[in-house]
Amino acid sequence: MLRDELGDLAAFLVVAEERSFTRAAARLSTSQPSLSQTVRRLEERLGVRLLIRNTRNVSVTDAGEQLVNTLRPALSDINNRLQALSQFREKPAGLVRITTGQHAADTLIWPAVAETLHAYPDIKIELSLDSALTDIVSERFDAGIRLGEQIAQDMIALRIGPDIRMAVVGSPEYLSKNPLPRTPQNLTHHSCINMRMQSAGGIYPWEFSQGERELHVRVDGQFIVNNIIAAAKAAEEGLGLAIVMEDQVIKQIAEGKLIRVLDDWCPPFPGYHIYYPSRRLLSPAFQAFLQTLRDRYAVLDTERR
């Protein structure tokens, strides 16, 4: 491979991912004309057209898509192996990219992040807060943190959190004007605060179980959010019933600001796991962060492969 060819391939991959020479140039800290020339040089060298350019955006040809599918895992592996060389340094170094949701970050991740950064000055951590089920391989994350039931089977998953319960809550004002729901089916007669799931774009059906009986209930109401913290706040404001994480509303329930209903339909379920690809070479920086999580939550240290 020619000396400049690997750099040209890496530059093309960024353009293909961004679908924009302008955004790709900013990401690579270069100029748009220079980047365009680099891709054109690569196309001439390979003898095929990789990108279709117009005034508004950039799209990838079939040949370009095939090259992207080849480059993405290969360059990711090269990058991981280069980071692994830091094992020969006195301390781990490099960037660790993690995707997680707001609730997991608030309850579990912040302390581990702070501890890792204080212990290893040469490590950088990028934490992406997103409720969507991000593809950590294609988006180049080292790991994701999600509920155990949401993790693909081809991932290594390490449990880092206790069991979780959901809670259906409403304000005293709302429930004084509406009958208490005795079963999940009664929710169809209530104003409920819906949650739009970013991963699918649809409205989340409320999930309940009692013994071996499981129910998914489609509810209706005037207010829709895409954040569970906002749902709890809306319930406190009297906008309807909301289903949220139990630990988010314990204080409000104790203070009488919220009333819990359908408690016997909300059993515990497996909590948060950190997960990562089983075939990925783990960088020393990520291993240091992972060890911090293991030390903090040792009692929950069970891996699923």
Task: Please answer whether residues 9 and 42 qualify as being in contact, where contact means their C-beta atoms are separated by less than 8 angstroms.
Answer: yes
- Angstrom distance (rounded) from CA 79 to CA 34: 24
- Angstrom distance (rounded) from CA 144 to CA 205: 24
Contacts of 141 (CB under 8 A, 6+ apart): 97, 98, 99, 128, 134
Identify the pLDDT of residue 62: 92
Identify the pLDDT of residue 110: 92
Q: Can you read off the two tokens belonging to residue 28?
A: 């690579």
Q: Can you read off the two tokens belonging to residue 176?
A: 């004084």
Identify the pLDDT of residue 239: 96
- Angstrom distance (rounded) from CA 186 to CA 241: 12
- Provide the CA 194 distance to its chain's centre, in angstroms: 20
Identify the pLDDT of residue 299: 45
DSSP, residue by residue, 158-216: EE-S--B-EEEEE-HHHHHHSPPPSSGGGGGGSBB-EEB-TTTSSBPPEEEEETTEEEE
Identify the pLDDT of residue 2: 56
In the numeric block, the tokens 């293909």 are attached to: 16
Identify the pLDDT of residue 199: 57
- Model-level pTM? 0.66
- Provide the CA 110 distance to its chain's centre, in angstroms: 15
Would you write out the chain's pLDDT as a tens digit for each of its 305 residues? Answer: 555 688 888 899 999 988 888 888 888 888 988 999 999 989 998 999 999 987 677 899 999 999 999 888 888 777 777 766 665 566 788 899 999 988 899 888 999 999 999 999 999 999 998 877 778 887 888 999 988 776 777 788 888 988 999 999 999 999 999 999 999 999 999 999 999 876 555 888 999 999 889 999 999 999 999 888 899 999 999 999 999 999 999 999 999 999 999 999 999 988 899 999 876 678 889 999 999 998 887 645 455 54
Task: Please answer whether residues 168 and 242 qualify as being in contact, where contact means their C-beta atoms are separated by less than 8 angstroms.
Answer: yes
- Provide the CA 200 distance to its chain's centre, in angstroms: 13
Using DSSP, state whether 238 is helix, strand or coil. coil
